[in-house]
Amino acid sequence: MARDDAMPTAKKPDDFDAFWEDVLGQASAIPLEPELVPDPLRTSDDVEVFQAFYTSIDRVRVAAWYCRPAKRAERTPAIMFLPGYQMDPPIPKEWARKGYIALSVAPRGKLRSMRQFNPGYPNLLTHNIVDRHTYAYRGFYVDTWRGIDVLLSRPEVDPARIGVTGSSQGGGLTITTAAMRSEVRAASAGAPYLCGYMDAVELTHTYPYEEINDYLRLHPERRRDVESTVAYFDGISFADRITCPIIVNIGLQDNVCPPETGYALFDRIGARDKQLYPYDGHGHDAGRARHTAVVDRFFAQHLLDGAART
């Protein structure tokens, strides 16, 4: 594909900022009530593992995994890991082994966070998609943003050295989190999903985006409402708010998140310090085998000892 193909059709709604300010206002009224429960089964000599829980908007209790290096500084940098669409949020021990405190969030609907909200998979992507005020990703996004508050509530976390990362849906959530949480000092987004929704459903016919095509096949009269809703949730609409250093990797043969949407997203990112890594010959892995070292260096530069502190 040519990079010039990357022309997003989604337009940022005029009241985009007002919509999200209102959502954040609702969320701020909900106490976080963070809780860490030691998990001796998953804890090893080098990594302490906890099951984490906190309360998010609509008073949904959200689960997460919290890992910290057994040997750490009084103030340790932190990484928040965000999950793929159908991924079961992993225990982020590897990040802890690299010297970070790591929080792996299970937003509502995910395993361990589905008691109060469970639209299912497939279905999450189109759950209440005609109404931005109740669309599934409204709460889902807030859940991830409040993960930053969980990190900030921990005395061992250095609040000036927090990063966020993930791939696929985790990449999309990385974009929205970096946009909405100024505490994020570095972000790495892989194969970002939830960016260019309505372009993606034309460019590819694979799940999970295919859920929208399924929905519109059955309910063609609702297209305008769908388009209106997803414009508020499109990562491309959030991108200009990002100011922290950020790297994005995409696969040029990505069959899940079309690379055209990755290019379109990258062009809209507001940060000056941004770098795109397009991997030819790669699909939804977005070059992970090679790119992992790039991500490690990026976060080490921005978050580990020696990084500038404010």
Give the interface with other proteins as residue ranges (CB under 8 A): 1, 40-42, 44, 85-88, 90-91, 93-94, 97, 111-112, 120-122, 203-208, 210, 213-215, 217-218, 251-256, 258-259, 281-285, 287-290
Of 1 and 304, nearer to other proteins (C-beta) is 1
CB 245 within 8 A of CB 273: yes
CB 100 within 8 A of CB 46: no
Of 234 and 254, nearer to other proteins (C-beta) is 254
Angstrom distance (rounded) from CA 56 to CA 241: 23
DSSP string, 133-167: TT-HHHHHHHHHHHHHHHHHT-TTEEEEEEEEEEE
CB 57 within 8 A of CB 141: no
254 in catalytic set: yes
Of 113 and 174, nearer to other proteins (C-beta) is 113
In the chain, the amino acid numbered 273 is: D
Pick left, alpha or beta for residue 272 (phi over 0 → left; psi -120 to 50 → alpha; otherwise beta): alpha
With tokens 């989604």, the residue in question is 10
Identify the bridge partners of residue 276 per DSSP, sorted by sequence position.
248
Check 168, 282, 285, 291 and give the catalytic one: 168
Check 127, 282, 284, 302 and give the catalytic one: 284
Q: Which residues contact 216 (CB under 8 A, 6 or more apart)?
A: 201, 222, 223, 226
CB of 249 to other proteins, least distance (A): 13
168 in catalytic set: yes
CB of 137 to other proteins, least distance (A): 17
Check 254, 282, 285, 291 and give the catalytic one: 254
CB of 127 to other proteins, least distance (A): 12
Of 186 and 189, nearer to other proteins (C-beta) is 189
DSSP string, 161-183: EEEEEEETHHHHHHHHHHHH-TT
Residue 121: other Cβ atoms inside 10 A:
14
Of 217 and 272, nearer to other proteins (C-beta) is 217
CB of 167 to other proteins, least distance (A): 11
CB of 190 to other proteins, least distance (A): 12
Active site positions, annotated: 168, 254, 284
